[in-house]
Amino acid sequence: MSFIKIGVSLFAVSFLSASPTHTIYVQKCASCHGVNGDMKAMGTSKAIKEMPVEEIEKALISYASGERKALPFVKSIKETFMKNHTKEELHEVATYIHGLK
């Protein structure tokens, strides 16, 4: 029983200590781009962790605006992200992605 309590406590501590930027990435990006940003989303994009911060920001903005062509659901994901997050958050997430190992 105490083993379970320890496991639950460790999970709670690790969850609470996650940065807001990490949480945004895990919730909004990791399912397509991978936990480490090394997956090609939809099998076609390049690995985002290899991209410079400015390129990540520009790509997200251009997908959301429609400047860059994408499948409708991909465009919708990017539009929603841009509507729900500030430019500062976008920059923080791009910086986080660039630093993934």
Average pLDDT over the chain, rounded to whole? Answer: 82
Task: Give just the sign of the alpha carbon dihedral 65, 58, 50, 86.
Answer: negative
Give a three-class secondary structure readout of 23-82.
Answer: HHHHHHCHHHHCCCCCCCHHHCCCCHHHCCHHHHHHHHHHHHHCCCCCCHHHHHHHHHHH
Domains belonging to the chain, first-starting first, are: 19-98 (1.10.760.10)
pLDDT grade for 6, boundaries at 50, 70 and 90: low
- Please report the pLDDT score of residue 99 as a whole number: 92
Does the pLDDT at position 43 exceed 50? yes
List of residues 6+ apart from 26 with CB closer than 8 A: 18, 35
pLDDT, tens only, 48-94: 998 999 999 998 888 878 788 888 888 888 888 888 888 898 899 99
d(CA 62, CA 87): 13
